[in-house]
């Protein structure tokens, strides 16, 4: 009898050990890594990006490592004396972009709301806004904050906007703080082409900085590209794009490349405008916007 009880106990222990071993391993969370089984929005039915490893908007691509940025970097910085101030907290006269229903929206005054030193994406029937001025190679400073109201909002729906160079090359604006999406669509990504090197995002509602250095592509009269574009982005004081060469127009932003379509170039004037995205009226805020023309010295 005693032997039977002992045998049953041993059998139960063996079964318990088997069940325990078949449970998923509990691994400590690695910053920036997807948790096992975590669903991250994205696509794998999209074109392959250069390098042949990842699809455009690939959810399986490693998440950018989380970096805690310094407190301020260029936040609230006064523009240098040779900068052109594009928005000082009050005056939006350097921008245009009316209502969608207006066929002449481009020439209209910017429809976004200015208050308390910032401009906010609005209204629902408002368009993107763009600068009236154009520059070929520039240093751009811009500050942005995503909405604090985040309930039920995830990934691309969470504080989505963007800095669209010439309405063609999008540097993504998004709430990527403790929030995952396909890496080439995260904050600081060249949308659909290059994820940020790391993720130095601040919480929603806090002001964040982009310092962007751009060199426009050039083409000769035959339409052959003679100079590739180059993009450097410093996000909250952290380099997230470093001399990145776009592989074409960003897809899906109305520049002729369909969403999930393969990026391609179409020759354009090197002088380009800055456009800010009204992404389904996600109420993203912007402030302290200024630009420096990198060719100004040459022309003196």
Q: Could you give the angle at the alpha carbon of 60 between the alpha carbons of 168 and 194, nearest 5°?
A: 25
User: CA–CA separation, 296 vs 228, rounded Å?
Assistant: 20
In the complex, residue closest to Mg ion by CB? 162
- CA pair distance 73, 38, nearest whole angstrom: 33
Do strands 274-276 and 238-244 pair parallel, antiparallel, or not at all (unpaired)? unpaired
CB closer to Mg ion out of 87 and 144: 144
- Residue number, 46 or 160, with CB nearest to Mg ion: 160
Choose, by CB under 5 A, the member of 160, 176, 193, 288 that binds Mg ion.
160
Phi, psi of 6 (to 5 degrees): -65, -40
> Which is closer to Mg ion, CB of 32 or CB of 254?
254
Q: Which residue number, 131 or 176, has a Cβ lying nearer to Mg ion?
A: 176
For the segment 219-278, give every residue that binds Mg ion (CB under 5 A): 277
Taking the complex as a whole, how short is the minimal distance between the CB of residue 57 and Mg ion, in angstroms? 13
Which residue's entry shows tokens 């170039």?
Answer: 265
**Considering the complex, what minimum distance in angstroms separates the CB of residue 124 from Mg ion?**
17
Three-state DSSP class for residue 156 = helix
Q: Which is nearer to Mg ion, 59 or 162 (CB)?
A: 162
Specify the residue, 180 or 279, whose C-beta has the smaller distance to Mg ion.
279
> Rule CB under 5 A: is residue 146 a binding residue for Mg ion?
no
Residue 182: CB minimum distance to Mg ion, A: 13
Whether 273 contacts 128, CB under 8 Å: no
- Minimum CB distance to Mg ion, residue 233 (Å): 14
- Give me the least distance between CB of 102 and Mg ion, in Å please: 23
Q: Give the shortest CB-185-to-Mg ion separation in angstroms.
A: 8
Reference 189, options 58, 36, 5, 22; nearest CA is: 58
Site string for Mg ion, 24-53 (x = CB under 5 A): ------------------------------
For Mg ion, which is the closer residue by CB, 209 or 278? 278
CB 251 within 8 A of CB 264: no
Can you tell me the distance from the alpha carbon of 238 to that of 144, in angstroms, rounded to the nearest whole number?
Answer: 15
Stretch that binds Mg ion, among 69-77, 155-163, 197-205, 282-290 (CB under 5 A): 155-163
Query: To the nearest 5 percent, what fractions of the chain are helix, strand and coil?
Result: 10, 30, 60
> Of these, 64, 162, 167, 229, which contacts Mg ion (CB under 5 A)?
162
Q: Which two tokens stand for residue 164?
A: 């669209």
Residue that has been written with the tokens 């002088």 in this structure: 271
- Residues contributing to the site for Mg ion (CB under 5 A): 160, 162, 277, 279
């Amino acid at each position: 009898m005693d032997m039977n009880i002992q045998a049953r106990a041993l059998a139960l222990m063996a079964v318990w050990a088997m069940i325990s071993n078949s449970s998923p391993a509990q691994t400590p969370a690695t910053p920036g890594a997807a948790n096992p089984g975590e669903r991250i929005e994205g696509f794998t039915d999209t074109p392959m990006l250069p390098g042949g490893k990842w699809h455009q908007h690939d959810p399986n691509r490693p998440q950018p490592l989380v970096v805690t940025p310094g407190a301020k970097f260029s936040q609230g910085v006064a523009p240098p004396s040779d900068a052109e101030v594009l928005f000082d907290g009050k005056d939006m006269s350097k921008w245009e972009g009316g209502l969608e229903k207006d066929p002449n929206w481009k020439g209209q005054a910017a429809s976004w709301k200015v208050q308390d030193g910032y401009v906010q994406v609005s209204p629902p029937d408002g368009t993107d806004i763009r600068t009236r001025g154009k520059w070929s190679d520039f240093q751009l400073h811009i500050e942005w904050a995503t909405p604090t109201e985040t309930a039920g909002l995830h990934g691309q729906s969470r504080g989505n906007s963007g800095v669209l160079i010439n309405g063609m090359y999008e540097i993504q604006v998004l709430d990527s703080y403790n929030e995952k999406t396909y890496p080439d669509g995260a904050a600081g990504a060249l949308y659909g082409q290059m994820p940020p090197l790391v993720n130095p995002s601040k919480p929603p509602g806090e002001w964040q900085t982009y310092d962007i250095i751009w060199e426009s592509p050039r083409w000769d009269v035959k339409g052959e590209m003679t100079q590739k574009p180059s993009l450097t982005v410093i996000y909250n004081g952290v380099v997230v794009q470093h001399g990145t060469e776009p592989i074409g127009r960003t897809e899906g932003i109305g520049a002729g490349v369909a969403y999930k379509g393969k990026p391609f170039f179409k020759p354009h004037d090197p002088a380009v405008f800055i456009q800010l995205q009204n992404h389904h009226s996600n109420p993203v805020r912007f402030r302290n916007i200024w630009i420096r023309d990198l060719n100004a010295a040459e022309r003196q």
